[in-house]
Structure 1
Amino acid sequence: MNAEPQHPHTRAAFYRRDRRSVRFARRLAQEALTEWEFTERSADVLLCVSELATNALLHGVPVGRGFVLRLTLHTDGVLRVELHDSGGGVVRAPGQSPPPESERGRGLFLVAALADKWGVGERNPGKIVWCEFEARGDRGAVHRRPR
């Protein structure tokens, strides 16, 4: 029998469809990363949180609804960031890079470049866009199993 992996550290919060929510989501992520001593990759994580939250607000959250940000630091040192929204639409893998003068279209390029893994899961209604980061020398080694 396989035991389900433990999630010793999880933070989650609901945010309304408001552009200030991106700032609040980043703040939650920063507090969690600091507490969990997952600091070496914090800039990458925070940028991905911002991009996923912004994408949710622009493309995934219907009027009158919001999104959930969930961060989980697993015992193997992998940090998973999930953005749950209740909107329709399909998240497509980044294709061609947008023109340099374009002000949009780089969010998932950044997530794909910075995260170790990323993807989209189903939710009813909506979807979950997620990304993962492996710890690399962070002091949070107490949370990782030996290799």
Structure 2
Amino acid sequence: MDEQTQPGEIRVAFLRRDRRSVRMAREFTRAVLSEWRFGRREDEVLLCVSELATNAVLHGVPPGRGFSVRASLLRTEGQLRLEVHDSGPGDIHPREASPESESGRGLLLVSALADKWGVGERNPGRFVWCEFEARGVG
């Protein structure tokens, strides 16, 4: 983490309900990681934001609405928190996908890669968050 970057810093991107927004969420997150020098966990973070943005587009954003991706630094040591906010209803739970299934593994990947993750409520909708410790930052 750069000494210019301070805990509590937040970056937010607002995206449309469009499959191209998943790529835009990754690009936004990659730029934040570069700015904050959070590089060694980049692949894990980008995969998680891709999965969460995909879920938002496919399941959480009604037509005509959008979603947001929020990145924030939580501590001096460099803990990154990502949140994907959407206006969808209901709870979010990881589920086992059959070996033949082409989908259904996103939250399982997030739970395996992130140090912590969870779901919060907002009005309307919910947000899914995941956190990454900055081990080996550089």
Which sections of structure 2, spanning at least 5 residues, go unmatched? 1-6
Secondary structure of the 1:113 match is helix
1:19 alignment counterpart: 19
How far off its partner does 1:18 sit? 0.5
Normalised to the residue count of structure 2, the TM-score between the two structures is 0.91
Instruction: Give, in whole Å, the separation in 2 of the partners of 1:18 and 1:98.
Output: 24
Q: Offset of 1:105 from its aligned partner?
A: 0.5
SS at match of 1:101: coil
Which residue number in structure 1 is paired with residue 78 of structure 2?
77
Q: Which consecutive unaligned segments of at least 5 residues does structure 1 have?
A: 1-5, 140-147
- Contact 1:48–1:111 at 8 Å: present in 2 too? yes
Give the letter for the 2:67 counterpart.
F
2:64 aligned partner, one-letter code: G
What is the CA–CA distance in structure 2 between the aligned matches of 1:35 and 1:25, rounded to whole Å?
15
Structure with higher Rg: it is: 1
Mapping 1:72-111, distance limit 5 Å: 72-74=72-74, 75-92=76-93, 94-95=94-95, 97-111=96-110
Aligned to 1:117: 116
TM-score (norm 1): 0.86
Structure 1 segments of 4 or more deviating over 3 A? Answer: none
Give the match for residue 38 of structure 1. 38
